[in-house]
Amino acid sequence: MREKAATLHHVRMEQGTVTSLLEQDNGTIIGVQYKTKDGQKLKAYAPFTIVCDGCFSNLRRSLCYPKVEVPSCFVGLVLENCQLPLENYGHVILADPSPILFYRISSTEVRCLVDIPGQKVSPVGKGGMANYLRAMVASQIPPELRDAFISAIDRGNIRTMPNSSMAADPYPTPGALLMGDAFNMRHPLTGGGMTVALSDIVVLRNLLKPICDLNDATSLCRHLESFYILRKPMASTINTLAGALYKVFSTSPNEARKELRQACFDYLSLGHFFSSGPIALLSGLNPSPLNLILHFFAVALYGVGRLLLPFPSFERTWIGAKIVLCAFGIIFPIIKGEGVRQMFFPTSIPAFYRAPPDRWCIEE
């Protein structure tokens, strides 16, 4: 994408490491300070700066209220010369204690991501991680991939990455806008990060399209407040689904959580609407928070129905009630973090309808 952008006649690409934002006394961002590969410290000025420096952003504190959570870490390996159980599909293994992902990245390579709960994992360099993967994970890998998995461990090319989650909580700042993982993160189990980022780009493109003058930073900032509302249907659907699925798919000693996990797997196994609906939500093809709620609680009720049929008992009824309570306990804290009004009633917020001043609009 960077190379494609560089081919446009009105784009000049400068590469370096941004060290800070340039800020006026009134709080307006007017550009960045950055360091080039050869160590030069330079400044770049612009009426509008888009900040997207990733999940480890050191610039986000100037533009939002960051509350980063790290529920788990991914341990990554590349498996060579092996066949997936179902080619051309991503694979999610419901392992203990949490899911394992497999997906093809080339004709000869398959990427494996092992989820390990907690903020810290065993150090790779001292052999602790390799021993963990052999002892605790290898036996849970599908037989078709197990030899390739062990070979990847033996090669030692193991990488780790924290799985960060952060609700979008910006404070509008004249002259700058935060985007990407620097702005909003969700568990990468569903791979929704790039979907949200590209959707945000389209929303921002549409808001900037009628504007021909970016120099009035205060007016532009007020106009772009609608960005945070217009992005919500897509972003909140994918964020909520990612967080909820991770909690459902992770093992738990709680009997209701076990039943909910199995119910989710069996619900998706029904096929047709029961799988195509959640997949459309996950992929961003149907960014509907209401449909998300419908499917999530349909899974819970499906789990309750499996327990009660053909003959309900007091114990099964009690577990069924706990399944419903468990479902509420999983999804509603995530929805609260996303913002109930912004997620379900965005049209009730005035910024949803905000249009640029007439003097900004390009004459047709």
Could you tell me if 52 and 182 are in contact, meaning their C-beta atoms sit under 8 angstroms apart? yes
* Mean pLDDT on 224-245: 95
Confidence of residue 311 (pLDDT cuts 50, 70, 90): confident
H helices of the chain, in order, are 2-6, 128-132, 143-155, 193-208, 217-223, 227-230, 232-249, 255-269, 273-283, 289-308, 314-338, 340-344
As to burial, measured by CB atoms within 10 angstroms (0-12 exposed, 13-18 middle, 19+ buried), residue 261 is buried
Domain 69-164 class in CATH: alpha beta
DSSP 220-256: HHHHGGGHHHHTHHHHHHHHHHHHHHHHHHS--S-HH
Over residues 259-306, the pLDDT tens digits come to 999 999 999 999 999 999 999 999 999 999 999 999 999 999 999 999
- ∠ CA 87-89-90 to the nearest 5 degrees? 125
User: Quick one: tokens of 209?
Assistant: 């399209």
* Mean pLDDT on 72-98: 95
User: Quick one: tokens of 26?
Assistant: 């009134």
pTM attached to this predicted model: 0.91
Percent of the chain past pLDDT 70, that is, above it, reads 97
Q: Indicate the range of 100-114, 120-134, 164-178, 182-196 predicted with least confidence.
A: 120-134
**pLDDT above 80 for 354:** no
Over residues 175-212, the pLDDT tens digits come to 999 999 999 999 999 999 999 999 999 999 999 998 88
Over residues 4-21, the pLDDT tens digits come to 989 999 999 999 999 999
Task: Give the residue extent of every domain in the chain.
Answer: 69-164, 186-356
For 307-338, give one letter per residue: b (16+ CB within 10 A) or e.
Answer: beeeeeeeebeebbebbbebbeebbeebbebb
